[in-house]
Amino acid sequence: MSPRKDVLRSEDPKGVSVRSRNEFFGIVRSSKYIPWFLVVCTLTTVGSLSTLAQNATILGTVTDPSGAAVPNVHITVIDLDTNQANTFVTNGVGQYVAPELPIGHYTVKAEATNFQLANQQNISLGVGDRRRIDFQLKVGNAQQTVTVEANTVAVQSDSGEQSYLINGQQVTQLSTNGRSIYTLETLTPGASSLQQDFQVPTSAGGDANVSFNGLREGHNLWLIDGGEASDRGGAGGSDVMPSIDALAEFRALTSNYSAEYGLSSAGTLSTVVKSGTKQLHAGAWYFGRNDALDARNYFNPAPDPVAELRFHTFGFNIGGPVTLHPHSSNPKTFFFYNMEWRRLIQGQILNQTVPLASEYPDAKGPNTGAAIPTTSPILAPVGVVGWGANCPGGVSPVAPGSPFPGNVIPSCLISPNATSLLGAGIFPKPTSGNQFIGGNNNPTNVKEEIVRIDHRFTDKLSIFGHFIADQVSQTYGTTQWSGDNVPTAFDVFGNPSYHAVVHAAYIIHPNLLNEASFNYNGNRINISPKGVFTAPSDFTFNRIFAANSTNALNRIPEIHLNGSTGTDYTISWEPWKNTAGDYQIRDDVSWTRGPHQTKFGASWALYKKVQDYFATTQGGFTFDGTFSGDDFADFLLGYAQKYQEYAIKSAGYWNNISPAAYIQDNWRATHRLTLNLGLRWDGIPHTYEANGNQSNFYPSLWNPANAAVFATDPVTLQTNYSAISPSSPGLGTSPVAALNGIPFYLNGIGISGKNGIPKGLVNDTWDAFGPALDSPLMSLAAAQPCFVAVSAQCTSASRATICTHVSALAGGGVITPATAIPVSSIVGLNREYKVPTSYQFSLGIQQSLGRNAVFSVSYVGNQNRWQSYSQESDLPPQGQLASLATTKAGTNGVPFNGLVQYPGFNTILLNFTGSNSHYNGLQTEIHGRMTRDLQLQAAYTYSQAIDPTTGNLGGGDSFDLDHVSNPYVGWRYDIGPSPFDRRHVAFVNFVYDIPVFKNSSNHLLKSTIGGWELSGIVVAQSGAPLNIGCNSTCGPSSLPSSTANIFPGGDVLSRPNIVGPIRYPKTVDEWFDPSAFGAPAPGTWGNLGFDALRGPAARTGTCLCSRSS
């Protein structure tokens, strides 16, 4: 789920054995710019035509003893699970195709005049399989039968895709981490994981951080019974977390799959819900996990306490036929129902500095004040209004600038609001010295129901459907996504999520099949604050904006002690809501004619998302010691370095439409040669805000004649480069009633439906560049105006000459924007959009090891162009960086805001498509039933993935739209290993049926000691890349003038120079030797490569002992 306010991405694949696959993000061009894509025609000995992952295909050729094709042979395909049969007829070249078969177990019979009846039995079909069953008929009569046992595991002789199946027994019996489908991702050659050690059993809270063949996690696509299940707002995860015990199979398609698939360039991850069978089956289960059974965290050795872990998963399912005749041999309706509960409690261990209880007001008795235990003197603030107004006679006992005697602040100088908030308990009391060690035990509760119905009206018409409902309540020990580091306020993440499919198939003719389906997936997120968040009755608000329907909640403002204490209390922008729904209709036709099996279809999807903006309308205070020398003392006095308050909290209504069409032909030119031909068209999802509340920065709209004229400081009469004069050109106003009359600097800004900008061609709202449409205002409470946008800075340090400070907690002068307009920031989208493209190729060999196992070795590669990134675009001349880094001004004395290319904005972060990446890998795998009792899968991948996505700079989404480190060079400065570039990845998983007493004649022994299974998963991965940056320090060198600190947006990162050999002590305190690095010159970027170091290897193992009856 992770929330996104800006873009909704979709991706479009093209290609077959050698394929070009196009992927999309964001909001692009106008709707007329919809690209066409032609799949490369490839000669290969195999083909590829998978269904949309919920069904399978049986096909083959029938010959006589001389090898000649036999036409008009009746092929009967019998589903052993339901007793349902379909009959097909071979064409003039002896070929037949039985498409869109439900997964399961089959028998296939071939019957023709003057030939013996041929029968192949025990054929197992998995999701997406194309299973070739050929017959060579023997001359005879129909009363004679030749029966052949099919291979349990077959070579993929009719599919060139790179795909891997985890069958039903593996899915349900393997010791998957957290019983999560996200763990199944890692059991695939070519998969590289950055997942955490523990999987939370929810779709949004779980970790889907897995790359396939070096491609970014956000390019994966999830399917359930052929319907999209991806959370487009979360990019990479699934909307629902179906019960492991409700799944029949799981298949990961990783490269070279059919043109039938769209919206993805990486892994397409397909699961199938179990169906009812002709026999009534029921089952129940319980799985438990406890911190006493878990291995310790490496960094938490004994005897240190471990966080509490209690994990319980239990449920039941039942499935079978629906019939009025219990002994009917041919039921037409089947049902499956699954109910599961998941209960998780995870302990939280925080280690955070907090104010001592002895520092609280009057802790030693009435009117004893507050004693700050620091060796540095606490000073009375200078230059503030109303100092000592509450003291006897209105005179402070301590003169401004003088130290408080004994570092004790008199009671009359302590803000009543500070006393009120401390009494409410916004900070926890320390448990060891001045440290709070502990936290909340965080419960997660999930209730999930799954139902599937299959019905066959006639031999030609059938239908199935499922509905999945996840009810999730997940508690977080601190406020999410906020920087909150104390557990006094926390939140509950409510996430009811749904998935539904209705799929009908009609056999028009034995060689012509039509399928139609409706698919839905979506969620309803509601994050509610808990704990201490309601303002106490004696707290006095001093709001900038009058109460309205969006800010009327009586919530405590944010309190940030950003000095020596570092304590952050906040409920941020909560409560918060987000709803999303994806509605898709599609139609697919399969047609067999001669040696051609052709499939074509079209789909149309509407994605709708309504998401609250992130607006802290309760306000927020930052105290950093500016006034007294200590952050907590500033809080007690009530003097904030910064205050911000949002005017309005509303929601964005984001829609997009995804049309698509394709045609795929699997042409068996000869019995040894298959041609795979395909064509796919995808309309790039055209995201727009339904109410037109969008804007963007366009360099083409920037008018130098309207360049900002900066305000003049009323005291020094010097130019103030943090504020724009109200008489400056390029100003405009907001259409929002609450903000009418407030001017904004709009030079270069295109507004949806205005300035010649088409609706939907922008990716942000007014709140990104100023106090505007539906969103925020920030202000430092002051006697003189100090008015700024949410992304700008208004601090006592930078504005001391024009801001006369008052007690922010106690209120102060009402501010207006009449004196100055803020210099603010923009996050936007570059309009020159190039469609991201992935070229994929592979070459592989498979070898059958008897009837029950297959070994494969493959080379898999890809080349990717026009990948996404974000880059700072409002830059000062590079020659000025050294001076800016050391003096905060250029060589001419002008600060950053006056040197940038577009004066009036201090950062313009634009999203681009343009970077390149590639992957090369050797992938090996063996899977099958090694013995009667042992099912095994083992794989090893040796690979290299190069991708300039920075990951650790933040700002992106599943490694898309990450910030480049050096905006003067662009993404090429970050060329290096992908964050997922683990060179060596190996795994083994097994399910072992313990044979002891399994078949005992003693019923008691068989039902108690017999029938146990042992399963396990072992994964070993070499270290992931580490990127070393320079902020305040760089190696052993102090770096007060870091290049990264020049840019106010914090969206650049310098790297150090290499000054010696890189060594790895590999200790907890020092994994690598920092003496190998030195600080680059001020205003420059170092020569160390991107992701040049390696972290420690990862080895994990899980095991499970279970019994089923």
- 878 CB neighbour count, 10 Å cutoff: 11
- Comparing 1078 with 51, the larger pLDDT belongs to 1078
Flag whether pLDDT at 194 surpasses 80: yes
Query: Per-residue pLDDT averaged across 268-273, rounded?
Result: 93
Positions of E strands within 719-768: 719-724, 731-733, 743-745, 749-751
For residue 434, give every residue at least 6 positions away whose Cβ sits within 8 Å of its Cβ, in sequence order, or none. 353, 354, 355, 356
Q: Report yes or no on whether pTM surpasses 0.95.
A: no
Cα–Cα nearest to 300, from 358, 253, 351, 252: 351
Residue 317 CA to residue 452 CA, distance in Å, equals: 11
Amino acid at the residue 80 = L
How confident is the prediction for the chain on average, in pLDDT?
Answer: 82
845 bridge partner residues: 857
Q: What is the pLDDT of residue 757?
A: 61
Q: What is the pLDDT of residue 825?
A: 80
Residue 1039 CA to residue 1030 CA, distance in Å, equals: 8
Q: What is the pLDDT of residue 569?
A: 98
Q: What is the pLDDT of residue 719?
A: 87
Flag whether pLDDT at 821 surpasses 80: no
What pLDDT digit, counting tens, does each position of 698-734 carry?
898 999 999 999 988 766 678 888 888 889 999 887 6
Q: What is the pLDDT of residue 65?
A: 86
- Comparing 160 with 1067, the larger pLDDT belongs to 1067
Q: Does domain 55-158 have CATH number 2.60.40.1120?
A: yes
Confidence band for 807, pLDDT divided at 50, 70 and 90: very low
Q: Which residue shows structure tokens 């002068």?
A: 813
Flag whether pLDDT at 820 surpasses 90: no
Flag whether pLDDT at 30 surpasses 60: no
Residue 888 in 3-state DSSP? coil
Positions of E strands within 739-896: 743-745, 749-751, 776-779, 787-788, 821-822, 824-829, 837-848, 853-872
Query: Percentage of residues in the chain with pLDDT exceeding 70?
Result: 83
Confidence band for 800, pLDDT divided at 50, 70 and 90: very low
What pLDDT digit, counting tens, does each position of 1058-1102 carry?
999 999 999 888 999 999 998 888 889 999 999 999 999 999 888
Q: What is the pLDDT of residue 691?
A: 78
Alpha-carbon dihedral sign for residues 1027, 1033, 1038, 1043: positive
What pLDDT digit, counting tens, does each position of 644-688 carry?
777 777 788 888 899 999 999 988 888 778 888 889 998 877 777
Confidence band for 552, pLDDT divided at 50, 70 and 90: low
Flag whether pLDDT at 130 surpasses 90: no
- Radius of gyration, CA atoms only, the chain: 33
Flag whether pLDDT at 751 surpasses 80: no
Confidence band for 641, pLDDT divided at 50, 70 and 90: confident
Confidence band for 32, pLDDT divided at 50, 70 and 90: very low
Alpha-carbon dihedral sign for residues 1083, 1089, 1095, 1100: positive
Query: Per-residue pLDDT averaged across 792-816, rounded?
Result: 33
User: Residue 1103 has which token pair?
Assistant: 């095991």
Flag whether pLDDT at 81 surpasses 50: yes
Flag whether pLDDT at 520 surpasses 90: yes
Cα–Cα nearest to 745, from 897, 899, 615, 955: 897
Query: Per-residue pLDDT averaged across 597-621, rounded?
Result: 89
Confidence band for 22, pLDDT divided at 50, 70 and 90: very low
Flag whether pLDDT at 257 surpasses 50: yes
DSSP element (H, E) containing 896: helix 896-899
- 194 CB neighbour count, 10 Å cutoff: 17
Q: Which long-range contacts (CB under 8 A, 24 or more apart) does 382-388 make?
A: 382/627, 383/800, 383/804, 383/805, 384/627, 384/639, 384/804, 384/805, 384/806, 384/807, 385/783, 385/804, 385/805, 385/806, 385/812, 386/806, 386/807, 386/810, 388/412, 388/413
Q: Which residue shows structure tokens 């955490």?
A: 196
189 bridge partner residues: none
Strand 435-438 vs strand 350-353: parallel, antiparallel, or unpaired?
antiparallel
Query: Per-residue pLDDT averaged across 605-610, rounded?
Result: 93
What pLDDT digit, counting tens, does each position of 838-889 carry?
999 999 998 988 888 999 999 999 999 999 999 999 999 999 999 998 888 9
For residue 322, give every residue at least 6 positions away whose Cβ sits within 8 Å of its Cβ, in sequence order, or none. 276, 331, 333, 334, 335
Flag whether pLDDT at 405 surpasses 80: yes
Query: Per-residue pLDDT averaged across 300-314, rounded?
Result: 85
- Comparing 489 with 832, the larger pLDDT belongs to 489
Cα–Cα nearest to 212, from 865, 1025, 914, 980: 980
Residue 160's region, left for phi above 0, alpha for psi from -120 to 50, else beta, is: alpha
- 598 CB neighbour count, 10 Å cutoff: 16
Determine contact, residues 743/699, Cβ cutoff 8 Å: no
Query: Per-residue pLDDT averaged across 457-479, rounded?
Result: 94
Flag whether pLDDT at 561 surpasses 70: yes
Longest alpha-carbon distance in the chain: 120
Q: What is the pLDDT of residue 11?
A: 34
Confidence band for 984, pLDDT divided at 50, 70 and 90: very high
- Give rounded-to-5 percent helix, strand, coil for the chain: 10, 40, 50
- Comparing 35 with 222, the larger pLDDT belongs to 222
Query: Per-residue pLDDT averaged across 511-539, rounded?
Result: 94
Query: Percentage of residues in the chain with pLDDT exceeding 90?
Result: 44
Flag whether pLDDT at 326 surpasses 80: no
User: Residue 479 has which token pair?
Assistant: 């406020």
Q: What is the pLDDT of residue 778?
A: 31
Confidence band for 756, pLDDT divided at 50, 70 and 90: low
Q: What is the pLDDT of residue 958?
A: 77
Flag whether pLDDT at 736 surpasses 50: yes
Query: Per-residue pLDDT averaged across 1011-1028, rounded?
Result: 93
- Comparing 810 with 152, the larger pLDDT belongs to 152
Residue 829 in 3-state DSSP? strand
Class of residue 143 by CB neighbours under 10 A (exposed 0-12, middle 13-18, buried 19+): exposed
Query: Per-residue pLDDT averaged across 271-298, rounded?
Result: 87
**In sequence order, which ranges of 313-467 are alpha helices (DSSP H)?**
416-424
Residue 693 CA to residue 861 CA, distance in Å, equals: 42
Q: What is the pLDDT of residue 434?
A: 93
**What residue ranges do the domains of the chain occupy?**
55-158, 165-349+440-537+552-573+582-590+600-615+650-679, 692-829, 837-1107
What is the number of residues in the chain? 1109
Flag whether pLDDT at 435 surpasses 90: yes
Q: What is the pLDDT of residue 1010?
A: 81
Cis peptide before 303 (omega within 30 of 0): yes
Where is average pLDDT lowest: 184-193, 232-241, 433-442, 913-922? 232-241
Strand 688-689 vs strand 42-44: parallel, antiparallel, or unpaired?
unpaired
Q: What is the pLDDT of residue 1032?
A: 55
Q: What is the pLDDT of residue 715?
A: 61
Q: What is the pLDDT of residue 784?
A: 29
